[in-house]
Amino acid sequence: MRFAKLIRRNLFRNKLRAILTMLLLAVIFFFVATLLAILDNFEEFSNSGAGSNRIVVQSAISLATLLPYSHEQKIRQLPGVVDTAKLQWIGAYYKEKSNFFANFAIDGEKMASVWDDYKIDPKQRADFLADRRGALVAEALMKRFGWKVGDRITLKRQIFAFDPELTIRGTFVHPVDTGSLFFPMEYFEHATGDRSEVGTFWVKVKDPKQMAALSQQIDAMFKNSDYPTETFTEKEFQQNFMSMMGNVKLLFTAVSSCAIFMVVLLAAITMSMSARERVTEIAVLKAIGFEQRLVLGLMLTEFLLLTMIGGALGCFGAHYLYAFVDMGKVTQGFLQNFGIHTKTLVVCMIASAGVGLIAGGLPALRASNLRVVDGLRRVV
Amino acid sequence: MIPLKYNIGNLTARRVSTLMTILGIGVVIAVMISMMALQNGVHSAVVSSGSKDNLMVMREGAAAELSSWVTKDAFRIIRALPGIAKESSGAPMISPELVIIFKIPKRDDPKGSNVLMRGVTPMAFTMRPYVKLIEGRMFKPGLNEVIVARRIRDRFVNTAIGDSFQFGSQKYNVVGVFDAQATAFDSEMWCDSDFLGQARKRDAYSSLIVRPIDRGAFESLKAAIKGDNRLKLDVKSEYQYYADQTNGLAGIVILVAIVTFFMTIGAILGTMNTMFSAIASRGRELATMRALGFKRRTILLSVIVESAFVSLLGGLAGLLLALPVNMISTGTTNFETFSEVAFNFRVDAQVAITGIVIALIAGIIGGALPAISAARMPITKALREI
């Protein structure tokens, strides 16, 4: 701590250069933190089904192929099954195509048993169940579109040949699902005239340990029918959805690494510049008795501070920005519950320290190794 | 005007830091070019498929062929409409197509992806002459034979000639491989439409592709089909259909915008930083030049030129670094159609020029501040400096 002032003075001896370098690091780490946070966000979505004791039955042929209702009765009779429900992806949108969100037709009366992790006001639940054209909406989604309970809304069709006309009867809160809308299966059946096929069955299982075995049992049961099934745990189901996007993780990691590599190169230029300017000074320090190790330590501390302050500005800046700005709204629902986690902050800080060490290591070593006479003789 | 030789001399004098700057900017530009190449590849894989000469008939309100439904009666009604071009044999150029997606395991992901299977008649090949069989043979009408796009065969399991896969009670044999010149059809498998209808119990088509005789017929056919209340069908140009499909790829566009934005700022700050260092170490030199009679403007220009030159070299280095991504062939899912889009990263002239221009602009902007400070340096003070 005795040298705090010396380090501080050296750090800002060339104010402009220090500020520019910090800014560069801030911008790049803001960017890296954002990319990592998007990855985390996807991961959270993938893991969102964990612990819900639900398995999902869909057609083995593809996501777009429907399954006959008769499958549901057979599944319900299996031991270990608490309850089952039908769920159909509707894929409609609100007013503009860019207002895309998740909307489903659902067995409303089964929500209490199969989707018991959705918190719904009992009165609103009753209202929803009483209205064949009622809708149950995530609270965050209500905010996104400025809806109120009691509003009448019309969604535009994309897949099925009807525009759902709904009255919002209630809202729900769920730790992960913050963007869905549900309306009764009866309305879907009535509108499409199809009472025989549906996209997925959701099965609530008594014991989580049974999920894998039960999944296999269900798939084996329908293997040789015209409608073979593929059964996943809810977690796997979400992961499949994510993996459809392609190798996002590899892409993001590659882009982040390149960005950091670029920062190392540019920071190294600044640091070697700053070390070179000080050759005489360092020689003087050594001449008056500063040990080589101490000189090296002082310079490295300075460079570390430089990059870590920049990195901190970037990743904490991102952290606070995303805490105040509703990214769900900005990205039109693409990133829900978006934020920078402590884990990401730690990774970014370690990386920025790494930048300081790698970029500043050689210049600092070289400057501190210089013989006193050479240092004093050199004209900079 | 100070000769360029002076700037080049300066750059070679500070060899290491010049090279590091070029490499640093090069990495930035390489990332940017790669991302644009990705967007370019996906975009052209989707958009380039549609022809402005063809009409695409689908169910009202259907966003994609997958959710569309066109009855065989409707097909017969439309086929008899006047204004449809005729093939040399006299058959009307109208191609009924049935689209279904199948989930097939990938080589690098056993969970697999949804691949689009298109049931077609020979007319589909007449209307899309760029779809060419490159290996094996054509499927026979009515049989459970399929031909697959080369890009699908390369990335999915069990899709080579001689392989077969099963869905429900139906087995599908692969007999040929086709190439569709990097259009959306390069992410598909094709088979006989009657066979596919029977196999998946669908007594209807997904879409009809119609070739009108001329522009006039294009509009009149469109009006005739839309106006027929029995049909409840929607018509747009095939080109428009595929252009609309890019909505499902909005995520990529957002990502490319974010990357370009941050990388450009990074490049600007980077050049600014190194140019400040570059002029700081030759304050006396610049002051001498001023004393010799070079104008402030000339110094300003000289520094900007030097900065622009370095970033230009950086941009070129970036382009070189990014060129190998051209060989990457991969896929993503279009959430508009819920099926696989196989694509190649594509660095074309436009992407390359954009990357280099961005590098140049970053160099000029990044050089501006250091240039101003160099030009405004008081001569006496700078000359006195050691």
Task: For residue range B331-345, list pLDDT tens digits in order.
Answer: 777 777 777 888 888
Helices (H), B296-348: 296-322
First to last CA, chain A: 30
Which residues 146-185 in chain A show a CB within 8 A of chain B? 156-161, 163
User: What amino acid is encoded at A344 in this protein?
Assistant: T
Q: How confident is residue B319, by pLDDT bands cut at 50, 70 and 90?
A: very high
In the predicted model, what is the mean pLDDT of chain B? 87
CA distance A132 to chain B (A): 23
pLDDT at residue B117, rounded to an integer: 93
Judged by CB atoms closer than 8 Å, whether chains meet at A159 and B277 is answered as no
The Cα–Cα gap between B176 and B191 comes to: 10
Chain A partners of B281 at a C-beta cutoff of 8 Å?
A: 273
The reply to whether residue A259 touches residue B247, judged by beta carbons under 8 angstroms, is no
Angstroms from A265 CA to nearest CA on chain B: 6
B67 vs A contacts (CB less than 8 Å)? 64, 91, 158-160
The answer to whether the CB of A111 falls within 8 A of the CB of A54 is no
Rounded to the nearest 10 degrees, the angle between the axes of helix B15-47 and helix A248-277 is: 160
Nearest to B254 among A159, A265, A331 (CB): A331
Q: Cα dist. A290→A2, A286, A304 in Å?
A: 13, 5, 20
Task: Give the span between the Cα atoms of B280 and A139, in whole angstroms.
Answer: 57
Q: Which residues pair with B204 in a beta bridge?
A: B71
Is the confidence at residue A326, as pLDDT, over 80? no
The minimum CA-CA distance between A309 and chain B, rounded to whole Å, is: 16
pTM above 0.90? no
- Please indicate if any CB of chain B lies within 8 Å of the CB of A12: no
A45-88: per-residue pLDDT in tens?
A: 777 766 678 889 988 877 777 888 988 888 988 888 889 999 99
Where b means 16+ CB within 10 Å and e means fewer, A53-70 reads bbbbbbbbbbbbbbbeee
| A321 contacts chain B (CB < 8 A) | no
Orientation of helix A292-324 relative to helix A248-277, angle to 10°: 140
Strand partners, A230: A58
For B103, nearest residue in chain A (alpha carbons): A62
**Do residue B273 and residue A64 have CB atoms under 8 angstroms apart?**
no
Q: Which residue has the higher pLDDT, B386 or A142?
A: A142
Interface with chain A: mutation pick from B14, B18, B19, B20, highest number of A CBs within 10 Å: B20
Q: Which residues pair with B174 in a beta bridge?
A: B146
Q: Strand pairing partners for A88?
A: A105
Which of B114, B241, B269, B307 has the most A C-beta neighbours within 10 Å, making it the best mutation to test the interface with A? B269
Q: Is A193 on the interface with B (CB under 8 A)?
A: no
Residues 244 to 283 of A: which have CB under 8 A from any B CB?
244-247, 251, 255, 258-259, 261-263, 265-266, 268-270, 272-273
pLDDT above 90: residue A30: yes
B101: pLDDT strictly greater than 70: yes
Complex confidence, ipTM: 0.78
C-beta of residue B54 within 8 angstroms of C-beta of residue B274: no
Closest CA of chain B from A350, distance in Å: 20
Give residue B386's pLDDT band: very low, low, confident or very high (50, 70, 90): low
**Cβ(A44)–Cβ(A328) under 8 Å?**
no
pLDDT at A299 over 70: yes
Nearest C-alpha of chain A: how many angstroms from B67?
5
End-to-end CA distance of chain B: 27
**Which of A19, A24, A38 to mutate: most B Cβ within 10 Å?**
A24
Task: State whether residue A225 sits within 8 Å of chain B by CB.
Answer: yes
Whole-number percent of chain A with pLDDT over 70: 96
The number of helix segments (H) and strand segments (E) in chain B equals: 13, 14
> A255 to chain B: nearest residue by CA?
B31
CA separation for the pair A83, A104 (Å, rounded): 19
Chain B residues near residue A271 by CB distance under 8 angstroms: none
Band of pLDDT at residue B33, cut at 50, 70 and 90: very high
Whether the CB of A362 is below 8 Å from some CB of chain B: the reply is no
- Positive or negative: CA dihedral A379, B2, B7, B8: negative
* pLDDT tens-digit map of B136-156: 999 999 899 999 999 899 989
d(CA B68, CA A272): 64
CA distance B255 to B263: 12
Cα-Cα-Cα-Cα dihedral of A166, A170, A175, A180, to 10°?
A: 0
Residue of chain B minimizing CA distance to A18: B273
**Higher pLDDT pick, A250 / A313:** A313
pLDDT of residue B385: 66
Q: Which of A27, A60, A245 sits opposite B269 (nearest CB)?
A: A27
Say whether pLDDT at A1 is over 70: no
* Å between A28 CA and nearest CA of chain B: 7
Listed in order, strand segments (DSSP E) in B250-307 are none
Helix ranges, chain A (H): 4-11, 15-47, 70-76, 111-114, 122-130, 139-145, 185-192, 211-222, 234-243, 248-277, 279-287, 292-324, 327-330, 342-369, 372-377
Classify strands B170-179 and B145-149 as parallel, antiparallel or unpaired: parallel
Do B258 and A31 make contact, defined as CB atoms within 8 angstroms?
yes
Q: Could you give the CA distance from residue A114 to residue A90 in angstroms, rounded to a whole number? A: 20
The verdict on a CB contact (< 8 Å) between B31 and A258 is: yes
CA distance B28 to B294: 35
- Contact between A334 and B254 using a beta-carbon 8 Å cutoff: yes
